[in-house]
Structure 1
Amino acid sequence: MASILTLGGFLSMFTSTVVTVALGTIAAGFRAPLGTVQWIATGYLLALAAMVPVSGWACRRFGTTRLWLVCVGLFAVLSALCATATSIEALIAFRVLQGAAGGLLVPAGQILFATTVGPKRLGRMMAVLSIPIYLAPVLGTLAGSVLTERFGVPWLFLVNVPLSLLCLLLGRKRLPRERPVDTRRLDWRGLVLTVTGLPLLVYGFAEAVPIAAAAGAILLAVFAVTALRSPAPLLELRLFRDRTFASAAAVIFGMGIALFGAMIVLPLYYLDVRHESLVATGFLTAPLALGTVLALPLAGRLTDRIGGARVIFAGLLVTIAGTVPLALLTGTDNYWWLSAVQVVRGCGIGLTTVPALSAGLVSVPKERISHAMPLFAMLQRVGGSFGTSILTVLAAPGTVAAIAHAHWWIAGITTIVLIPAWLLVRAESSTVD
């Protein structure tokens, strides 16, 4: 089961970056403005975000395995349609629909994992499922360059088809069958508020559009008020009353700011300061993902053995240790040294994110995991968009000083996350006592 769900999650995240390096080629092929073609990537990411809030209800209403299989099948069909699109408008539309299907794959897989394996193996299993989330974007960037150059743009999408079909075949044979557990009607008001509010907030922060960010924040605030009053909300916000869950959520939000915001800063150093190519920059920033993936199995084992809180605290300290050298960047730093620093920072991230997710889920009853997982995913995405907005402004000059200054901010944000991490340690200790 683990390998099947991991491959499904890999597809969703891999496809989010595989086309990014080919936007210029696609624009030339369709003779369309780059600003229009950009929506091939942006539309996919916004659709991913829009589907997160509804994923929990869909799993409860239709069964998690059934939903996952349907989404994999749709992902294959829409990938083929993207490859055969004859206009830029059609391609954008198919990419948005593909993002909607892909946006349900990761949370549905995580929910199925968490409800099946139980709390004793939750850390190790979530670590396995998280590997594609960190590895796929790096591989997507590298594969996009190779596929575009050697095989052509259609193969950016066709590569998904055989992998999706393999997932579908194995999933039908191996994944457990679940019956729907909640036949209540969909909270349409909550759906409208979150499906519009979350993408607007993410887009507003990521693209520096204050009106969109403000509108998204207002819509989500209205959702929060109505959800707390509803007997059957789309997402159960009352989970935040639990101190362990709330502390873990704060860690996930804070690391979303530090992690996803940081992913745009160091590439600027290689591109603008060291004048490396896009492909070379992809290789030079890959050690961060490598360190994260290497640390995930250890993080999972330690979380199951001693609890997630202490692992998170240690991971944050390692992350800070791997960030401070990047805040001391010069224009002549040795690439091997920078790669080693990135591996250390990646290990810290791996020791933080999965234990935070596992620590938060341990306190959640099994029947409410389908509420908890989308909440964590939403917080991570909003944090990532917020961090992207702040750090893009700080690093925008593209100078060594600006990029180093942005890394000081990342180190500072990570240090602040130590506060909810310490609260999580205390909450976990009191539960054990």
Structure 2
Amino acid sequence: MTRQSRLQPEVRAVAIVVVIGAIMSILDTTIVNVGIETLSQELNSPLATIQWISTGYLLALATVIPLTGWVAERFGPKQVWMAVVTGFVAASALCGLAWSAESLIAFRVLQGLAGGMVMPIGMIALAQAAGPRNMGRVMSVIGVPMLLAPVFGPVIGGLIVEHLSWRWLFYVNLPIGALGLVLAWRLMPGARAEGKAGDSGRLDLLGLALLSPGVALIVYGLSEIASTGRVVDPQALGPLGVGMLLVAGFALHAWRARFPIVDVRLLRKPGFGAAAATVSLAGAALFGGMLLLPLYYQLDRGLSPLQAGLLIAPQGLGAAAAMHWSGRMTDRLGGGPIVTFGLVVLAVSTLPFVFVTGSTSYALLAGSLVVRGIGLGFAMMPAMASAYRLLRTDEVPRATPLLNVLQRVGGSLGVAILAVVLQRQIAGVLPGAGGDGVVQALTPAQRAQVADPVADAFGATYVWSLVLVLLAIIPALVMWRAERRTADLPTPAARPVPAA
């Protein structure tokens, strides 16, 4: 490795801190999801109520993301990161001490309000420490926990539920958070984030009032569609429609505001809009696929969540291996060709799942998952890095929440689409089933009789997953073209900060 290809020591120090925060916040979501049924039994509460432990957390998470750019400019990434991690750790401790479903839901909302800022604030700190042109290597570092946590989270969660108290689903965050705080105090720079608004302290209250509830309502509506499998459902369409109106109102406001809380005008920059669309569609393909993989192993093959998690692990290993190279290649060649290559690999590796049966070899599926992970490693974080490479340093704080919102909404949309398709496909091959609930209730002998029809339902759903990947290739090609046009231009410099 040449000296030029290495990240500077101060950037590596920030990256270490950010990775620890990413592991804690992302792992927490997947670990807790495994324990939903156990929590229902232990707290003597119906699943419909317990489900709000996940839903409330996700809504709180989505609500605070738009604030991250402003607080980074106003108080500095280090101060904000340490504050939200402290809040996350404290809320985790309260979750572990919860005495009822209602108290646990309330503490999970507090946990989400803190956790929603952990990753975006860390990304702002890294982007401004490393500079836009080095974001490929930076994103490859923090991308590893983002792709590994959804894979290994169910495994860890299954082990905790099986061998420890459910309270350790939350207590596990305490030592990780404490380590992150110590390292952040020693390693992170204390300067404020450099942004267009400078240190004027102006908060776009109207934009916040429109965007935060708008994003939360969209995420809620999509999650309801995913859980019920019905598109025409007033409980989902009502919040979804109101959320879309609020976000549209924010877009009109932000286009005219001097310092909007999220700068949607950045989407006009050559290539940035395409990179943002790629991030959103790639998020839909990733999170939608993560819904199908464990369900196939559990519903069609009758495996436990722990066994399903172990069988999905090859995807995470492939992604981790690919990221070692994809970051350097993104910095050297630009994100367009790297992301396009990754999406093509991802599409090809999805084909075995399109033709999956009730007896498909586990070895074949594991090999396909390794290749799929390689595709994700070359697609997901290089797409995000490409977006940052097209920004000036002072544009990073207000662009980061925009990219995070697009990725989160894209992921929710992908999960909703594939959940609805899967429910209808299962109902089609098993008339009267009405979804996956009947499949879960089958005995092993009964499941063996319907294994191939249910596998056909998963295969048909994977066709839609493949379509999401192919759609992501379109903006990736546009981004590639934009990068080629600007390849000879000097690295953009930050504008002078305007006077307060």
TM-score by length of 1: 0.97
**1:35-46 to 2 correspondence within 5 Å?**
35-46=48-59
The one of 85, 103, 107 equivalent to 1:94 is: 107
**In 2, are the aligned partners of 1:395 and 1:406 still within 8 Å (CA)?**
yes
Q: Kindly state the Cα deviation for residue 394 of structure 1 after the two structures are TM-superposed.
A: 1.1
What amino acid is the match of 1:393?
A: V
Deviations 1:312-354 (A, max 9, x none): 1111110111111111111111001101101111111110111
Deviations 1:374-418 (A, max 9, x none): 111111111111111111111121522221111111212211222
Deviations 1:96-128 (A, max 9, x none): 111111110000001100000113422111110
The one of 274, 278, 293 equivalent to 1:247 is: 274
Pair 1:144 & 2:157 matched: yes
Secondary structure, counterpart of 1:243 in structure 2 = coil
Note the residue ranges of structure 1 that are not aligned, 5 or more in a row: none
- Residue number in structure 2 paired with 1:192: 209
The one of 350, 358, 364 equivalent to 2:377 is: 350
**1:11-410 to 2 correspondence within 5 Å?**
11-179=24-192, 181-208=198-225, 209-396=236-423, 397=426, 399-410=454-465
* Equivalences, count: 433
What amino acid is the match of 1:404?
A: G
Distance (whole Å) between structure 1 residues aligned to residue 26 and residue 68 of structure 2: 16
**In 2, are the aligned partners of 1:394 and 1:403 still within 8 Å (CA)?**
no
Distance (whole Å) between structure 2 residues aligned to residue 244 and residue 139 of structure 1: 34
Distance (whole Å) between structure 2 residues aligned to residue 323 and residue 255 of structure 1: 14
Between 101-110 and 289-298, the greater mean CA deviation after superposition: 289-298
Distance (whole Å) between structure 1 residues aligned to residue 99 and residue 391 of structure 2: 48
Q: Kindly state the Cα deviation for residue 309 of structure 1 after the two structures are TM-superposed.
A: 0.8
- Residue number in structure 1 paired with 2:17: 4
Distance (whole Å) between structure 2 residues aligned to residue 194 and residue 342 of structure 1: 37
Q: Kindly state the Cα deviation for residue 215 of structure 1 after the two structures are TM-superposed.
A: 1.4
- Residue number in structure 1 paired with 2:479: 424
Between 350-359 and 179-188, the greater mean CA deviation after superposition: 179-188
Cα RMSD over matched residues? Answer: 1.3
What is the percentage of aligned positions where both structures have the same residue? 40
Deviations 1:229-258 (A, max 9, x none): 111111111101112101101111111221
Distance (whole Å) between structure 1 residues aligned to residue 90 and residue 202 of structure 2: 29
Secondary structure, counterpart of 2:190 in structure 1 = coil
Distance (whole Å) between structure 2 residues aligned to residue 192 and residue 385 of structure 1: 22
Q: Kindly state the Cα deviation for residue 82 of structure 1 after the two structures are TM-superposed.
A: 1.0
Q: Kindly state the Cα deviation for residue 293 of structure 1 after the two structures are TM-superposed.
A: 1.8
Distance (whole Å) between structure 1 residues aligned to residue 44 and residue 187 of structure 2: 45
Distance (whole Å) between structure 1 residues aligned to residue 477 and residue 268 of structure 2: 18
Note the residue ranges of structure 2 that are not aligned, 5 or more in a row: 1-12, 226-235, 427-435, 437-453, 489-500
Q: Kindly state the Cα deviation for residue 204 of structure 1 after the two structures are TM-superposed.
A: 0.7
Q: Kindly state the Cα deviation for residue 149 of structure 1 after the two structures are TM-superposed.
A: 2.2
Q: Kindly state the Cα deviation for residue 148 of structure 1 after the two structures are TM-superposed.
A: 2.1
The structure number with the bigger radius of gyration is 2
Secondary structure, counterpart of 2:417 in structure 1 = helix
- Larger helix proportion of the pair: 1
What amino acid is the match of 1:423?
A: V
Pair 1:412 & 2:429 matched: no
TM-score by length of 2: 0.84
**In 2, are the aligned partners of 1:196 and 1:216 still within 8 Å (CA)?**
yes
- Residue number in structure 1 paired with 2:3: none
**In 1, are the aligned partners of 2:96 and 2:167 still within 8 Å (CA)?**
yes
